[in-house]
Amino acid sequence: MIDINLIRTNKELVKENIRKKFQMDKLPLVDEVEKLDTKVRALKLEGDNLRASRNTLSSQIGALMKEKKVEEANKIKETVKKNNERIAAIETETAELDERIKKIMMTIPNIIDKSVPIGKDDSENVENERFGEPVVPDFEIPYHADILDSFCALDKESAGRTSGNGFYYLMGDGARLVSAMISYARDFMINKGFTYCIPPFMIRGDVVNGVMSFAEMDAMMYKIENEDLYLIGTSEHSMIGKFKGQIINEKDLPLTLTSYSPCFRKEVGAHGIEERGIYRVHQFEKQEMVVLCKPEDSMTWYNKMWSFSVELFRSLNIPVRTLECCSGDLADLKVKSCDVEAWSPRQKKYFEVCSCSTLGDAQARRLGIRAKGEKGTYFLHTLNNTVLASTRALIALLENNLQADGSVLIPKPLQMYMGGKTKLTPIKK
């Protein structure tokens, strides 16, 4: 949510930002907010004047009563009564208008960074840089579900019976490998100075509304029936919500946190749920990184955070690239975002494994998260990035470490978490 002062002082900037995001239907909302805000401010001024008048008149009533001028005092009391009725009406109308303004403001997109490329959708995202040489071996790379099946590591048939499409059982070395990657990602971030956290896996509706747009919520979140609780789609939601309504001492900044959680997603949209594999599913595990910092430090942290993901994936022998998200592909709360994509030697292309974003003060403004320093209080900037999402990272690891004989080499950083194993050998061929 942007600062309403932007609409008051630079309405055209807000409109131009909407145009850059190709959301032309939202342009009238800026004028509507301006009109409503003008009315609210006029009502509040009228209310303030009436309250000041009430105080003056109350003093006059007291003086008249002392002088036993009861009739004059009663006339003024009648005026005070009318003023009180008008003040109550103003307060009711102002509250209704404020709520209307808030709802509109939560649909107006955040101001994107000047460096964001302009484009309508993800087809116009821009490659930034490649890390590691994308290799296509001289043997065929099977589909990842078939690789897992060779280790007796994936059971989607049973998951279909227990839970339906979009779920899976990981078994044996497949399950162990995922746990190893999550543990390695956790320790990797702890070694970067981040504080480890396991957050709540359900959050209330006001937190959901604070961390994401309504469209994102409808497409992603599972709601608990008859409860004001939602299953989290990512631990970023819980982690930012942790500071709802808090004023943080500036000397404690930045707050750098890394969190583990299962993630639950409806995955509503054109992509659909995978029938055989685990690329797009309803449930997976994730290690996340979250930063709350001073506004002037947010871009520095943004660049640090995506670089941590690159470093981690390269340590697992996985070539990656960074892809800058264009204006039309940015969610409304985001200022700037990039994807880290892993190389798929089977598909001979890259696919998304991490997403790094800075949201400016949008989430902090919605949730009332501020810092207090020498110059007063201000809204913090919030950032998030995937350290490692279990299913997609597993696919990337399997494909890029597969050998011609069907075995998969276990990268050195994971071997200590795998009981010293250096490779996985197929059980069936």
User: What pLDDT, on the 0 to 100 scale, is given for residue 268?
Assistant: 62
Kindly report the CATH number assigned to the domain that includes residue 365: 3.30.930.10
Long-range contacts at 159-163 (CB < 8 A, ≥ 24 apart): 163/282
Residue 113 covered by a domain:
no
Task: Assess whether 88 and 151 both reside in one domain.
Answer: no
Among residues 72, 105, 138, which one ends one of the domains? 105
pTM, two decimal places: 0.90
CA angle 421, 426, 429 (to 5 degrees): 175
Task: Assess whether 61 and 130 both reside in one domain.
Answer: no
Beta strands at 283-293 and 202-203: parallel, antiparallel or unpaired = unpaired
Handedness of CA 205, 207, 210, 215 (dihedral sign): negative
Task: Assess whether 287 and 377 both reside in one domain.
Answer: yes
Res. 262 pLDDT band, cuts 50 70 90 = very high
User: What pLDDT, on the 0 to 100 scale, is given for residue 279?
Assistant: 93
Q: How many domains does the chain have?
A: 2
**Exposed/middle/buried for 82, CB within 10 Å: 0-12, 13-18, 19+?**
exposed
Task: Assess whether 188 and 217 both reside in one domain.
Answer: yes
Looking at the DSSP bridge assignments, the partners of residue 358 are 336, 383
Task: Assess whether 28 and 133 both reside in one domain.
Answer: no
Task: Assess whether 164 and 267 both reside in one domain.
Answer: yes
pLDDT digits (tens, 9 = 90+) for 21-78: 999 999 999 999 999 999 999 999 999 999 998 888 888 888 888 888 878 888 888 8
pLDDT score of 429 more than 70 = no
Task: Assess whether 362 and 310 both reside in one domain.
Answer: yes
CA angle 281, 312, 174 (to 5 degrees): 45
Boundaries of domain holding 325: 122-424
3-state class of 343 per DSSP?
strand
Task: Assess whether 74 and 147 both reside in one domain.
Answer: no
Tell me the C-alpha distance between 210 and 214, whole Å: 10
Q: For a pLDDT cut of 70, what percent of the chain falls above it?
A: 99
Q: Under 8 Å CB-to-CB from 206, ≥6 apart: which residues?
A: 244
**Exposed/middle/buried for 303, CB within 10 Å: 0-12, 13-18, 19+?**
exposed
Task: Assess whether 101 and 136 both reside in one domain.
Answer: no
Among residues 75, 105, 135, which one ends one of the domains? 105
Kindly report the CATH number assigned to the domain that includes residue 77: 1.10.287.40
Task: Assess whether 331 and 195 both reside in one domain.
Answer: yes
Task: Assess whether 95 and 177 both reside in one domain.
Answer: no
Strand order in the sheet with 222-223: 202-203, 230-231, 222-223
